[in-house]
Structure 1
């Protein structure tokens, strides 16, 4: 009997066909992405030509051609302009400084991940001859293997050719430190810190030590509880008491968190409550408190429904958390929605404040410029028709616009018109039109009343 695991000729032909189709697909995809990088490079070069004609030395004016180009191209393909600006720069750098890598990508010999690795480490080599030697060496290896294997090799080659010392490179890298946030599902987000390795590992080690100290204390309390139980009713074994099954230990509380959970809780607690040791502002950084904008249906707040809430228009948070926030809030913005379209009609508040600003924040939640996600509460209020040209400071002539897009809109010549229902019609300098709707609102309905109990037979 033939071995079913032994491939026959038909199996080999099918496998070869799949492989050839995959190869052809990857090659076609690589050619398209390489062509797009070429377009980015040409667009970036054009903005540099425009910048060269600007006599002003201010960075804002000299940055405007690139920012204006990104604002034109981004919305056209549903990409925010900051990301598009990065694409333009990276495309130009790849196409002009790593031409051989771009050609290999275009020809399907490597994939996008390879180009990222090659450019990442090669960008540190400012000497053209050294960079060319680096590219030739690494590219010859890249066409034969995966991007993951290329990365350590590229780093070794770059380090060998880099005239800067490790200390010099570290001093430059320190200037790129930053903090960033990535929103995830189920009311969770990730806070990331890029910083010097010593400090980052020191923070992690301190959190680990603190977490282990908490776990050690918890373990000691468990053993004491077990000993007390043994002394009261039997032999003390020193085993950990199961609080869920032992009635004698029901009143005790033990920490069931894992070490990762404890580390996260300690970090959040210190960041949200502790004051910085160094405070050059003389105003008290410790007095600054976190600010968020939370939208929650009144029915959820009242407990009638169990729907979620929204944080800064960017991610969902759980009802329990938002009820705690609401309980500690000094005041509320009550948002009235149209019963059918869910359009924000108006807002009010018991404590007087900037009502128009609250109304716009409730309606738009984030910066209204196409593709932007900056929270409205961190944005400026922009007159659609300029105030100096007769524009009124009214809700139908205003919208939240972050500083970047506020400047870009006026400097690059964008216009905006408010349509019924808060819709905004943005017109780019090229004539392209983008319609931005206020963020959709989820309509919640009360949970159905429980059915009456049936009379027993």
Structure 2
């Protein structure tokens, strides 16, 4: 496939600049070709798993079952796996472009953009012409920006099927508000999104009003007060509490509603609860160190020292809804009125004589697991079901038989009998896929709090009779519309938005 073999990393230091650049290009082509082969395999699995539509009206249908296998194999989320499946099926729709992809001449980013922009094309003849047209140009487009790339693809689609353009009202339909995942910095989380202009203006005005409602003794900058005001709004507060500490301050209205409106499950050393607020988390940063002629280059480039750095940093806390809480911020919340709830030790649990676990047992399971226990899934434990690994009443309501599972994977495990799981007393879960492969997941607390012993009592062997569950499919939640019907409806709707554009294109030329 390639003119020369890929270089050995150990030999790169012996190559000249041109050879290193050539190695980069060769590796990029090999990476693209490998991605194309991966997507081809995903497409084959998707076609096999979705060949039947027997359960098309299930909330967890054949597509979801296939996505679970792909997610487990790749170690990605269910949503990401589903996106890979959609992209893989486009290889068959666009054979000429797919051939370039398999040869490594275009990358996955470009292939994804072409597949997305041509999604609304359903006329087979038009699709063939678009595929041929784009394939002629794709290999020569080079490093285009996203906007230019979309324009180039749209130009071909507009020429052959103008009703399939994906731009009308797209910005408004892309409204969303995203909160960063737990891989963000420990003390902050990124927030981004898109709102209606009127809503954005109202929110901006509200944050400004709350930020200016504190006294001059508040240590925070305007930007920090606006950020804290959004947190106060989320907690249901109408005003931002002032941090001046004065009992006479009119803006100091007692308990911080951010502290009383959330539950923070803390799994940490006792020293974390004894941490003190960091006064340097707000206000302007310390002045930069002046650079003098007497400094060495290393001294001049060294970062400015941080004031009052503690000799021993307390471990951060984790919240079951996702994310880290640094010890100083936890101290700030505790001071503001947050209640501390200690998790019951692992050895203090016995089997409970009912299906639904008690509050303390559910708390232990959620804090132990932190997320859904399916391979690659990162849905926070606070939004998960408590699932019996061996189904009730054959399996007891006991931490050695309970784990967190998001609703999608709970339904998958319960109704798609090709998936099986087994659980160990330390919370380890071994999943077996319909294809026979096994995947082992460990509790999230094992990563963040390795010294916490989560091992509970080992249960006797549990035998689950299979004949009792022959009719459990009637309990599966049903879709109002099948996935295929929803896709067709979405395509028809988006194409209808371009009717005016098509009518304008079809007008006869003026005489």
Same fold, TM exceeding 0.5? yes
SS of the residue 2:178 aligns to:
strand
Mean Cα deviation higher: 403-412 or 421-430: 421-430
Deviations 1:298-357 (A, max 9, x none): 211023962211232743222122234345334513354xxxxxxx54589xxx962221
Give the match for residue 332 of structure 1. Answer: 341
Deviation at 1:179, TM superposition (A): 3.4
Partner SS, residue 51 of structure 2: helix
Q: Give the aligned partner of residue 355 of structure 1.
A: 360
Residues 72-151 of structure 1 mapped to structure 2, 5 A cutoff: 72-92=69-89, 94-144=90-140, 145-148=142-145, 149-151=148-150
Change (3 A) 1:207 1:255: farther
Alpha-carbon shift at residue 159 of structure 1 (Å): 5.4
Q: Separation in 1 of the partners of 2:83 and 2:342? A: 37
Cα offset for 1:48? 2.0
Q: Provide the TM-score with structure 2 as the length reference.
A: 0.62
Instruction: Output the CA distance in 2 between the equivalents of 1:165 and 1:435.
Output: 44
Aligned to 2:153: 154
Change (3 A) 1:365 1:164: closer
Once the two structures are superposed, what CA deviation does each residue of 1:150-183 show, in whole Å capped at 9, x if it has no partner?
233334554564327999x42x875664433222
Q: 2:324 aligns to what SS in structure 1? A: strand
Structure with bigger gyration radius: 1
Residues 210 and 229 in structure 2, CA contact (< 8 A), matched pair in contact too: no
3-state DSSP of counterpart to 1:371 = coil
Q: How does 1:397-408 map to 2 (within 5 A)?
A: 397-408=401-412
1:46-445 equivalences under 5 Å are 46-51=48-53, 54=54, 58-60=57-59, 63-92=60-89, 94-144=90-140, 145-148=142-145, 149-158=148-157, 161-163=161-163, 169-170=168-169, 177-183=175-181, 184-195=184-195, 199=196, 201-206=197-202, 208=204, 253=217, 257=221, 259=223, 261=224, 263-273=226-236, 293-303=265-275, 306-312=314-320, 314-327=322-335, 328-330=337-339, 332-336=341-345, 344-346=346-348, 354-388=359-393, 390-413=394-417, 414-439=419-444, 440=446, 441-442=448-449
Cα distance change of structure 1 residues 19 and 368 upon mapping to structure 2, 3 Å threshold: closer
Q: Deviations over 1:190-214 (max 9, x none)?
A: 233345xxx1x34444455567779
Task: List runs of 5+ in structure 1 lacking aligned partners.
Answer: 1-12, 222-251, 276-287, 337-343, 446-457
- State how far apart, in whole Å, the 2-side matches of 1:272 and 1:325 are: 13
Contact 2:154–2:165 (Cα < 8 Å) also in 1: no
In 2, are the aligned partners of 1:346 and 1:359 still within 8 Å (CA)? no
Partner residue in 1 for 2:256: none
* Structure having the larger proportion of residues in helix: 1
Q: d(CA) in 2 for partners of 1:375 and 1:335?
A: 20
1:253 Cα offset (Å): 3.9
Q: Which has the higher contact order (CA 8 A, sep 6+)?
A: 2
Distance in 2 (alpha carbons) for counterparts of 1:317 and 1:46: 45
Q: Specify which structure has the higher proportion of strand.
A: 1
Contact 2:386 2:404 in 1 (8 A): yes
Q: What do you get for the CA RMSD once the two structures are aligned?
A: 3.7
Asked whether the equivalents of residues 412 and 429 of structure 1 are also in contact (C-alpha less than 8 Å), the reply is no
Q: Tell me how far 1:405 sits from its aligned partner.
A: 0.8
Whole-Å Cα distance in 2 between the matches of residues 189 and 293 of structure 1? 18
8 Å contact from structure 2 (residues 76, 377) kept in 1: no
Equivalent residues of 2:320, 2:371 under 8 A apart: yes
Distance 1:402 1:152 in 2: 39
Alignment of 1:7-18 (within 5 A): 14-18=16-20
Between the aligned partners of 2:166 and 2:396, the Cα distance in structure 1 is 58
Shift of 1:269: 3.4
How far is the alpha carbon of 1:409 from its aligned partner? 0.7
> 1: distance between equivalents of 2:178 and 2:398?
35
Q: Report the counterpart of residue 40 of structure 1 in structure 2.
A: 42
* 8 Å Cα contact 1:207/1:263 also seen in 2: no
CA 1:68/1:215 → structure 2, altered by over 3 Å: closer, same or farther? Answer: closer
Q: Secondary structure at the match of 1:422?
A: coil
Alignment coverage as a number of residue pairs = 365
Q: For residue 242 of structure 2, what is the aligned residue in structure 1? A: none
Whether contact under 8 Å (2:428, 2:442) holds in the other structure is: yes
Q: What is aligned with 2:303? A: none
Q: SS where residue 76 of structure 2 aligns?
A: coil
Residues of 2 paired with 1:119 and 1:57: CA distance?
24
User: 1:43, CA displacement in angstroms?
Assistant: 1.3
